[in-house]
Amino acid sequence: MPDDAPREDEHKVDAEAPVVADPVAAALLEHFEGAVFHESHGQPVVYLDRAQWAEAAMFLRDEQQFTMLLDVTAVDHLLDIERLHVEGVAPERFEIVANFISHPRNRRIRLIAEVPAADPEVASLAPLYDSADAAEREVYDMFGITFPGHPDLTRILMPDDWIGHPLRKDDSPARVPVTFKEDPGPR
């Protein structure tokens, strides 16, 4: 058996890839070039190129029985003092995070894609999962990341005429002056 192993490895891009215990993550790594597996406190996480984002979600839904997209959110790493380093992932300012669950297999997986600040855009998952509709509107509202393919990408929590994206780290909470009733103007 050990004799077979080196020949198998020759076909892989990275011969020293760590053993992926999670079968779903292993399947994703096989199908998507450049995908990186990371075990985050016992949970399987796969880092992907954002060009593969929607394709990976479709793969999870159609071939891996991932029945529900639980959540889509984003992270702004602009001011991070220290950042989780994952081998093989080029860090960018934004990260988009999607949590999936498969009820028949009783498994979870998390997909993460790096999104550069210069071009904050990721393909929408709303055509695949209805739950992405509201979640991506929230990410757009809070981080200004746009989702081509989303049916109605408008603000959801903030007023429609709001300027800025509140959860970006450079959007200071003190930017909007507090006004009190009967005051002649903002303090």
If one asks whether residue 58 binds other proteins (CB under 8 A), the answer comes out as: no
If one asks whether residue 185 binds other proteins (CB under 8 A), the answer comes out as: no
Contacting residue, 3, 4, 82, 161, with other proteins by CB under 8 A: 82
Give, in degrees to the nearest 5, the angle at Cα 107 between 106 and 109. Answer: 155
Between 6 and 106, CB nearer to other proteins = 106
Segment 108 to 147, residues that bind other proteins, using CB under 8 A: 108, 110, 129-131, 133-135, 138, 142
Segment 24 to 43, residues that bind other proteins, using CB under 8 A: 40-43
CA 140, CA 142: separation in Å to the nearest integer?
Answer: 6
Taken in order 39, 41, 42, 44, the sign of the CA dihedral is negative
Which residues form the interface with other proteins (CB under 8 A)? Answer: 40-43, 45, 67-71, 73, 75-77, 79-84, 97, 99, 103, 106, 108, 110, 129-131, 133-135, 138, 142, 155-159, 166-167, 173, 182
